[in-house]
Structure 1
Amino acid sequence: MNRPDPAPELHRHEFVAFVAAVMAVNALGVDLMLPALADIGRDLGVGTANHRQWIVTAYVLGFGAGQLIYGPLADRFGRRPILIATLAGFVAASIFAAGSATFDALLGARALQGLMSASTRVLSVAIVRDRFSGRQMARTLSVAQMIFFLVPILAPTIGQGLLAFGPWRFIFYALGAFAAAVLAWTMWRVPETLPQERRVPLSFASLTRSYRLTLSNRFSAGYAMAASLTFGGIIAFVASAQQIFVDEFGAGGRFTLLFGTCAFAMACASFANSRLVERLGTRLISQTAVAALIGLSVMHLVVIATGAESLWSYVLFQALSMTCIGLCGSNFGAMAMEPVGHIAGTASSIQGFITSIGAVLVASAIGQSYDGTTYPLAVGYLCIGIAVAATVFVVESGQLFRPRLMAG
């Protein structure tokens, strides 16, 4: 079942497609059930609408916590066996979620799903770092994330289609089926990317050293923190999207289209980044995007304050904001990883933990402030933009918009 080196190194196109598929396990885990949140709430007796957001945030919480585990394991035993084990665990967790009889049981199953899918974030970055570095790494991640960001466009529509044929539990069975397909791909086509001579023995001393190197490097820790803020903006939007589009604007019949429009903006941003990053650099692109996010948020707040907010103004500002965030994600990830590539698995774990747990805190603060208007989300995005700008300013020692030899 777990035969070593099942194939020679994948061709670049299949390699990118595989990395995107691994990432998509997590994307589907977040987005596929969005059309079913109201049904789940009614079926499991959730009285407060904002509490339905925990179906998303419980998953991300498990996702963040699990990342501390998989990096050291992947650096010791290789990427492939850890990915196989956790994909199998995700399939089992999906079956548990489908059979949940209470809301608490569902949240537990969702946290378990997140715990298992945490490996997809750690290992996708580590696998790419095993083969590429610097701008090539950012370009490869951007192409993979472009495909990955197409998943949220389709996921709510797929989820809505599944609801047409059965209850919300079908969605979790579909999640398990997709993860099983990626598991089969891993087992039969994907070779190990970490050679034996680069594997790090598991020991308290080696873990302490890796943690210290990752957390003490201002680029590694700083850009992970910046990524956590922008990721928090994504989770806040996803968690509250059903309430905003359906409850506030009454656009339930167009929910999947409107949500997909915002997700498509992120996919376009990642595609543009993949074409521009080797020429312009990670810093110029991401810093410009942060400045644009701040400006957009201010304009959005002005629109809201003047009473001119509508469904279409919200979609426009949200799509543009997601474009800015899409131009930050892969670049922040590449810059955070660049100085710690020699401990890519463990570093990816620590950075992923910072990114995901920080995102849960940010998203919860924004999402649980939802008051039936778009005001809390607009304020949240402005705060995110300012906090990211301040973080980048400190990390770069005030040298903004200046290229560096390292990572762009």
Structure 2
Amino acid sequence: MHATIPPGIAAARLRRPEPGFTEFVILVALMMGVTAFAVDAVLPAFPAIGSSFGVADPNRLQLVVYVYMLGFGAAQLVFGPASDVVGRRPAYLAGAVIFLIGSAMAIFAHDLASLLTARFVQGIGAASGRVLATAIVRDRFSGRDMARVMSLNMTVFIMVPIFAPAIGSLLLLLGDWHVMFVAMLATGLALGIWFWLRMPETLAPENKMPFSASRIAGGFGTTLSSRTAMGYATAVGLMFGCVMTMVGSAQQIFTETYGLGSLFPVAFGLLALSMGLAALVNSKAVRRFGMRRISHASMLGLVVVGVVLLGTALLTSGRPPLLLFGILLACAQFLLGLSFPNFNALAMEPLGHVAGTASSLIGVYTTVVGALCGLFIGGSFDGTVMPIAAGYCGLAILAALVVTWTERGRLFVSHHSEQQG
């Protein structure tokens, strides 16, 4: 991104102005944030969509979330390698166009099947933002600086779901559920234009590679053979399963189990806010304490909270007091917010030379693992919080075991590469 420009007025005029640090962080975070908005804004519309299409089983409406996430996960295998060949800018802009097409398809959906098809297309387009945001950050930063930027990105990214359900509820006051997809279309278009105008190509010319199936396979092989990359990617996927469980189940838990009705967006926003605060704290602390110390401590804390949450659910027949349940879930989300950016950065740290390809493989792996965990646990909703409590507890324990294996039992120990940057 800071490559030397050849001397001459012509070259200077051709050079695209770079965004400052703050604009860079916000723009890259919103590349991922559109994904969160497209998922969470639609949650308050579940009853309206179900009524419009005559869906008798409310659990089926969770497919509106999970089909989107499966398309989002699968397409990342394409955008990462493509960005290593054509560059980050063309790859992202192509994905933005696909997202807009999916949004338009959703506006004209005439039944649940056509809406799910549109959501799958939307997810394919949104995948470019997830892959390219990570690759762009890795192009420009490394070590603890990369973790700091990822934390700041996560802060902006998580602010989106704080307001998304409330925005969705407000949009429902202006019209039926179709209005939400009009808003997604407008948001995607605005972000695409901003990116096109302000974000330069961050892939260094010497790192741009010709298309080669063997090279892409080699990049996948490098990623898969890295104990650090795959270990932390697995942990990210399991923890993302917690998030997807909460997203898929939240509307039913807070409106059916606890009867919050129109206050659901407030409860959901407070949970998302706890993750945002954690990411902000991490951005300040990571350069002092390091990624491993912070993420390992938060991971073990999540295990403790998960056990307490499950124990509380068992003692109350799956219906703990709302305040207690909310506090425990907020604590879990806070600890997830500390772990996510660091685990992502640790997974990418040894893969700078194949950042685009590695980001795509890690992205699809973590997304599909998280979406499938969320689909299984969220689809088990039975009117109580028992499934989500058992899910958080089990996934946290599995993540802790995986990270312990990855680090060969040596937790909290900073590596030399982590301290650089």
TM-score bin (small chain): over 0.9
Residue 287 of structure 2 corresponds to 278
Matches within 5 A, 1:84-163: 84-163=93-172
Q: Structure 1 residue 386: deviation in Å?
A: 0.6
Cα distance between partner residues in 2 of 1:9 and 1:188? 10
1:263 aligns with 2:263: no
Q: Structure 1 residue 186: deviation in Å?
A: 1.3
Residue 381 of structure 1 corresponds to 392
Runs of 5+ unmatched residues, structure 1: none
Q: Structure 1 residue 5: deviation in Å?
A: 6.3
User: For residue 323 of structure 1, what is the amino acid of its counterpart?
Assistant: F
Residue 3 of structure 2 corresponds to none
Secondary structure in 2 matching 1:407: helix
Cα distance between partner residues in 2 of 1:100 and 1:393? 46
Cα distance between partner residues in 1 of 2:240 and 2:267? 20
1:354 aligns with 2:365: yes
Residue 9 of structure 2 corresponds to none
Q: Structure 1 residue 6: deviation in Å?
A: 6.2
Residue 405 of structure 2 corresponds to 394
Kept in 2, the 8 Å contact 1:5–1:190? The answer is: no
Cα distance between partner residues in 2 of 1:311 and 1:172? 32
Q: Structure 1 residue 407: deviation in Å?
A: 2.6
- Deviation digits for residues 16-71 of structure 1 (CA, Å, limit 9, x no counterpart): 11111211111111111111011111111211111111110001100100000001
Residue 293 of structure 1 corresponds to 302
- Deviation digits for residues 224-277 of structure 1 (CA, Å, limit 9, x no counterpart): 111001111101100111000001110012111100000000000000000011
Question: Are the structure 2 counterparts of residues 223 and 183 from structure 1 closer, same or farther at C-alpha, using a change threshold of 3 Å?
Answer: same
Kept in 1, the 8 Å contact 2:64–2:119? The answer is: yes
Question: Are the structure 2 counterparts of residues 369 and 5 from structure 1 closer, same or farther at C-alpha, using a change threshold of 3 Å?
Answer: farther
Cα distance between partner residues in 2 of 1:170 and 1:356? 27
- Deviation digits for residues 147-183 of structure 1 (CA, Å, limit 9, x no counterpart): 1101101101110000001000000010010010011
Cα distance between partner residues in 1 of 2:231 and 2:152? 24
Matches within 5 A, 1:2-401: 7-307=16-316, 309-401=320-412
Q: Show structure 1 runs of 4+ deviating over 6 A.
A: none
Kept in 1, the 8 Å contact 2:158–2:273? The answer is: yes
Kept in 2, the 8 Å contact 1:6–1:187? The answer is: no
Question: Are the structure 2 counterparts of residues 405 and 306 from structure 1 closer, same or farther at C-alpha, using a change threshold of 3 Å?
Answer: same
Q: Structure 1 residue 9: deviation in Å?
A: 2.4
Please give the TM-score of this superposition, normalised by the length of structure 2.
Answer: 0.94
- Deviation digits for residues 178-217 of structure 1 (CA, Å, limit 9, x no counterpart): 0100111011111111122210111121011101100000
Please give the TM-score of this superposition, normalised by the length of structure 1.
Answer: 0.97
User: For residue 60 of structure 2, what is the amino acid of its counterpart?
Assistant: H
Secondary structure in 1 matching 2:417: coil
Cα distance between partner residues in 1 of 2:278 and 2:300? 15
User: For residue 26 of structure 1, what is the amino acid of its counterpart?
Assistant: T
User: For residue 266 of structure 1, what is the amino acid of its counterpart?
Assistant: M
Kept in 1, the 8 Å contact 2:98–2:124? The answer is: no
Cα distance between partner residues in 1 of 2:300 and 2:285? 18
Kept in 2, the 8 Å contact 1:334–1:407? The answer is: no
Farther off after superposition, 122-131 or 8-17: 8-17
